[in-house]
Amino acid sequence: MKAGRRVRKPQAASTAASSPRSVTVTPGNPRSARPRPLREARIRPSSFRAPARGAGTADMAQAARALWPGGRALAWGLGGRLAPGLPAQSPTGFAGAAGGRVPAATARKGSPRLLGAAALALGGAVGLYYTARWHLHAQNLLAKRSATQLSLSGRLQLTLYQYKTCPFCSKVRAFLDFHALPYQVVEVNPVLRAEIKFSSYRKVPILLAQEGDSMQQLNDSSVIISALKTYLVSGQPLEDIITYYPPMKAMNDQGKEVTEFCNKYWLMLDEKEAQRMYGGKEARTEEMKWRQWADDWLVHLISPNVYRTPAEALASFDYIVREGKFGAMEGAMAKYLGAAAMYLISKRLKSRHHLQDDVREDLYEAANKWVAAVGKDRPFMGGQEPNLADLAVYGVLRVMEGLEAFEDLMQHTRIQPWYLRVEKAIAEAPQ
């Protein structure tokens, strides 16, 4: 070193990376039992604070020092400063640090490649660390949520009045099974319907829910699902929740009076609960849209397809009689007379809903449209687990299992992988 020349040593920087902030979720206040107009929740995007300038590079420099003997050279490349506590070391590179004598020119020539390789390796290690940390955090949240849901579900005694082969009833069973809600099933005779004579509402499904001394009757498959999901997420009394879904008399396209339910695709959650469940307004809107699509379009493709030909109609009624609640004489009459009647009715349904001559094509288009909406980057529309739209579409399609229409659907569309994933998710739901 020449006399009179001073070398300025790099100054150590004392910085620390900002740690992720924990989020504390507090239960929402119970709503009034009185129905009131809905207001769309404003959901604020989650805030994210970047680490202070220099904090990330200091931490990476420390990691480099721990992973490689020549980490000090990498520390210079990452931030030009050294983290405190690192001993002085020659910046000649990894080979020089290992003990070999390397000419200065050679070290300078090879150091960019070595630094690049080291940076890639370090980046992968950091990425794996944060991926594992995120995964553990997600598992903890899932465990806490499951424990809360099990605690709430233990307060309910549920009885489902149904036709097993009804797509709307199948939707409700898919929801109950996925959420591990225990329930009893009462199969209703579709001719006499004596099992639901207690109810002025004469359709199925009907769900009786007893919570303590309070017994509530929930009608309509989408209302049942929305009310129970609101209960599981918010913990509000079910007696209060059902007041948000008031029945309303209306006239259908044929001039017949029908009962409709307001707000039936909405979950009655406060802002924090909605944010915790959906993460954003778009996910909530998407779920509601496709739940309604399943009710307004997909379900109307079932009958025209399972009763498409006389042979298919007979096979469908054979299945209905086996699974339903019929007497011996009723079963025989239903199988043959019902099959003939439904074959003719299916032609009227085809005209009413403006279906193609080959109704299979409408079924295939609907299935592929759903698959395209789910996309390739997520296993379910709900992301890593089925949401209410996934369960609704699955429940509607499931009633065709064992029939020719179902086999054709699996073979001629792209829906089978998604369908099997939902089936597995329901089967593996904690009991």
| pLDDT tens sequence across 28-82 | 443 444 444 433 333 333 333 333 434 444 444 444 344 444 443 333 333 344 3
Label residue 258 by pLDDT band (50, 70, 90): confident
Measured between alpha carbons, how far is 307 from 317 in angstroms, rounded to an integer? Answer: 9
pLDDT bucket at 112, cuts 50 / 70 / 90: low
For helices 359-374 and 388-398, angle between their N-to-C axes, nearest 10 degrees: 160
- Which residue do the tokens 């579900």 mark? 153
pLDDT of residue 80: 40
- Cβ within 8 Å of residue 89, ≥6 positions away: 70, 72, 73, 97
The values of phi and psi at residue 209, to 5°, are -125, 120
The pLDDT tens digits for 144-196 are: 444 445 456 568 999 999 999 999 999 999 999 999 999 999 999 888 899 99
216: phi then psi, degrees, rounded to nearest 5: -120, 140
Condensed to tens digits (0 to 9), the pLDDT of residues 242-251 reads: 999 999 998 8
Q: How far apart are CA 63 and CA 373, in angstroms?
A: 42
Distance CA 336, CA 340 (A): 6
pLDDT tens digits, one per residue of 13-28: 443 333 333 333 334 4
Alpha carbon 186 to its chain's center: 29
Task: Give the separation between CA 38 and CA 41, rounded to whole angstroms.
Answer: 9
Task: Please return the burial class of 411, using the count of CB atoms within 10 Å of its CB with bins 0-12, 13-18 and 19+.
Answer: exposed
pLDDT band at 116 (very low <50, low <70, confident <90, very high): low
Q: Give the span between the Cα atoms of 273 and 231, in whole angstroms.
A: 11
* Best mean pLDDT range from 52-61, 92-101, 228-237: 228-237
* pTM passes above 0.85: no
Residue-wise pLDDT tens digits, 301-338: 999 999 999 999 999 999 888 888 787 777 888 888 88
Residue 184 φ then ψ, to 5°:
-100, 150
Which pLDDT value is given to residue 373? 98
Question: What's the whole-number mean pLDDT along residues 367-376?
Answer: 98
Which of 44-48, 68-72, 132-136, 344-348 tops mean pLDDT? 344-348
Give the residue from 67, 115, 121, 55 showing the smallest Cα distance to 91.
Answer: 115
- Residue 269 to residue 277: CA distance in whole angstroms: 9
User: Exposed/middle/buried for 395, CB within 10 Å: 0-12, 13-18, 19+?
Assistant: buried
Single-letter amino acid, residue 325: K
| pLDDT value of residue 134 | 47
Average pLDDT over residues 365-374: 98
- Show the tokens assigned to 97: 């640090």
Task: Compute the mean pLDDT over every residue in the chain, rounded to the nearest whole number.
Answer: 77
| Burial (Cβ within 10 Å: 0-12, 13-18, ≥19) of residue 49 | exposed
For residue 239, count CB atoms less than 10 angstroms from its CB and return exposed for 0-12, middle for 13-18, buried for 19 or more.
middle
Q: What's the pLDDT tens digit per position in 260-311? A: 999 999 999 999 999 999 999 999 999 999 999 999 999 999 999 999 999 9
Q: What local confidence, expressed as pLDDT, does residue 303 receive? A: 96
Question: Which residues carry out catalysis?
Answer: 163, 166, 168-169
Closest listed residue to residue 363, CA positions, set 288, 300, 291: 300
Q: State the pLDDT at residue 326.
A: 80
What does the DSSP 8-state code read for residue 336? I
Q: Would you say 160 and 176 are in contact if contact means Cβ atoms under 8 Å apart?
A: yes
Least confident of 2-6, 116-120, 125-129, 426-430: 2-6
Residues in the chain: 431
CA distance 50 to 20: 10
pLDDT band of residue 136 (cuts 50, 70, 90) is: low
Residue partners of 128: CB distance under 8 A and separation at least 6: none
Rounded to an integer, the average pLDDT of 109-123 is 58
d(CA 406, CA 419): 11
